[in-house]
Amino acid sequence: MYKAKIIKEEDKDFQTTVRNFVEDFDKISYSQRYIFGINLYTDNVINQYKVAGIIDENTNLKSHEGVDIVKLHEVPKDALILVASGGATQSILKKLTQSNMRALDYFAFQRFNSKKLVQPRFNENFEQEFLRNYSKFEYVQECLADSESRRQFQAVINFRFYANIEHMKGFENRESEQYFEPFLNTNKQIDNFIDVGGFDGFTSQQFISNYPNFREINIFEPETLNYQVCINRFRNFENIFVHKVCLSKESGFATFISSASTSRIDANILGGDISVRPLDSYANLVTNNSYVKVDIEGDEINFLRGSANSIKTHTPFLAIAVYHNSEDLWKIANEVLAMNSNYYLFFRHYTETLYESVLYFVPRT
């Protein structure tokens, strides 16, 4: 078995740099404080700090929550810029560094700040989760089938643990490549796709491009607008079926929280108007040649518990998002392997920061 220490030694220079930035951000004049990007982190920071402006190159709005919105060329050179963007963070930091601007990302800023700033979304309490279940994270790393999976897994764990974006160096936003990796090309042929959390049908469209001779596609998308987009997108295909259903561990009805690409079931509000079913309740949907992709904003474990018989019986290819909850990086692997151990595991990450980590389960043939 492959063994390696998952967590590296923390970079002391990084600690010093971040603490100095936080200290300076606290004490400088508000006229030198700027935030790059508008999101929930921005709103949280401006509730704690008075800032001169919010940098946003892609809006025509003049202000946000009473704070002026400015372009980068309007920011003074002696400003301190907090990068609130959670996605293209490395690209923004690189651009600011090249412009000789002093900047820091929100991930590090929040970790070393004494104020009660909101934790990065999808990374809540990760440090405690990792320390509590270190051996389970280590087990997943040992199970990974190739060195690239182990490298990426370790990088993501270290970034989540230390909030040091240097661990993500080399990662780029490449979501268009997600779900269709070379290691899926095995002797076991894929001929049907089950798209769980289909959003606007983009991934199913990619499947068609990669597997033009497919037999069938089933898309599960409960959000009304996205469901209709999928219906319209694939209206000319007789072998593509779109279901306005949430797949979870049991049948019933639930309330659905609509929020573009992050729509989800609200587990605390049952008895709503959205149909909920386990995958196992669909007779003959999963076969030995199925590829099941799952990204349902944190309900992946419940999906798996409603799919146990299908996974045990057919050993389908699986691609499951493992970034929504701090425990997903170990728990989803454990859940699947307890059902069926006849898999190779691969891990790939598709953005510059926390988002879009996927664990692939490829049948052993």
Q: CA-CA distance, 163 to 159, in Å (whole number)?
A: 5
Work out the pLDDT band at 302, boundaries 50, 70, 90. Answer: very high
10 Å Cβ neighbour count for 288? 12
User: Does the structure show a pLDDT above 80 at 147?
Assistant: yes
Q: If pLDDT is split at 50, 70 and 90, which confidence band does 261 have?
A: very low
Query: And the tokens for 176?
Result: 């268009």
Tell me how long the chain is.
365
Q: Which domains does the chain have, with CATH numbers?
A: 12-111 (3.40.50), 132-363 (3.40.50.150)
User: Tell me, what's the pLDDT at 269?
Assistant: 46
Q: 197 vs 257, which has greater pLDDT?
A: 197
Listed range (102-116, 197-211, 264-278) with the worst mean pLDDT: 264-278
The closest alpha carbon to 352, from 88, 52, 79, 4, belongs to 88
Tokens at residue 273, please? 């108007």
- Looking at every residue in the chain, the average pLDDT score rounds to 93
Spatial contact of 328 and 322, defined as CB atoms under 8 Å apart: yes
With 0.75 as the threshold, say if the pTM is over it: yes
